[in-house]
Amino acid sequence: MNLLLASAIAVLIGSGAYLVLRARLFTVLLGLMLVGYGVNLFLLAMGRVRVVVPPIITDAGGPYADPLPQALVLTAIVIGFGMTAFLLALAVRSRSVFGSDHVDGLADWTDSASASDSASAPTVLVDPHAAS
């Protein structure tokens, strides 16, 4: 169980880190989401993984699952959701301002992935600077 959880966290954060280092904003966003999931699992694991025990202390005593990491993860999920939504909106804005999906806003930038994108769906973006 612990090995499974640890490897799940490792895979999530590893692939997330890879995606974050890409030059396209969309993959960066996906990477951040994966890292976020990995971190949430990590937080949960830090409260010791216990199966089929209640998250409350009863008068009878006995084993209980630590409820605090679950509360922390819940908060982290909510915050992560808001941040992701904001970044998504900002990414859309950035694409409409610069006409490309590059993290540095390079207008004439294409890589293999976005080139094949534009080949399959020829979207023409309006460059605001071209008009002025």
Partner 1 sequence: MIASSFSSGLLSSLVPMPVHQALARDLLVLPVLLPLAAACLSLLTSSIRWRRTLMLGTTLLLVALSGWLLPMADLGQVLVYRLGNWPVPVAIVLCLDRLSALLLLLTAIVATGSAWAAVRGDDQHGPHFHAALLLLIAGVNGAFLTGDVFNLFVSFELLLIASYGLLVFGGTPARVRSGVQYVVLNLVGSSIFLVGIGMLYSVTGTLNLAELSQRVALLDAPSAAFARSGALLLLVVFALKAALVPFSFWLPAAYSAASPPVAALFAILTKVGVYAILRMSTMVVGTDAALRANLYGEWLWPMAVATVAFGALAAIGTRSVRRLQSALLIVSVGTMLASMAHGSEAGLSAGLFYLVHSTIAAAAMFLVAGLSEQRDAPRRWTSVLFFVGALSVAGLPPLSGFLGKVLMLQAFPADSRLPVMWAVVLGSSLLAVIALSRRGAALFWGAADVPETSTLPRPPDQRLVPRALLSRVPPTALLLVLAAVTIGAGALSDFTQRTAQQLLAPGQVRSQIPDAPGGR
- Judged by the rule CB under 8 A, the positions of this chain that interact with partner 1 are 20, 25, 28, 32, 35-36, 39-40, 42-43, 45-48, 68-69, 72, 75-76, 79-80, 82-83, 86-87, 90-91, 93-94, 97-98, 103-105
Give SS3 for 2. helix
Please identify, using beta-carbon distances, which residue of 85 and 115 lies nearer to partner 1.
Answer: 85
Which are the contacts of 116, defined by CB distance < 8 A and separation ≥ 6? none
Please identify, using beta-carbon distances, which residue of 36 and 120 lies nearer to partner 1.
Answer: 36
Supply 30's token pair.
């996906």
The least distance separating partner 1 from the CB of residue 67, rounded to whole angstroms, comes to 11
> Residue 82's CB: how many other CB atoms inside 10 A?
10
Q: Which of left, alpha, beta for 71 (phi over 0: left; psi -120 to 50: alpha)?
A: alpha
The least distance separating partner 1 from the CB of residue 4, rounded to whole angstroms, comes to 18
Please identify, using beta-carbon distances, which residue of 104 and 111 lies nearer to partner 1.
Answer: 104
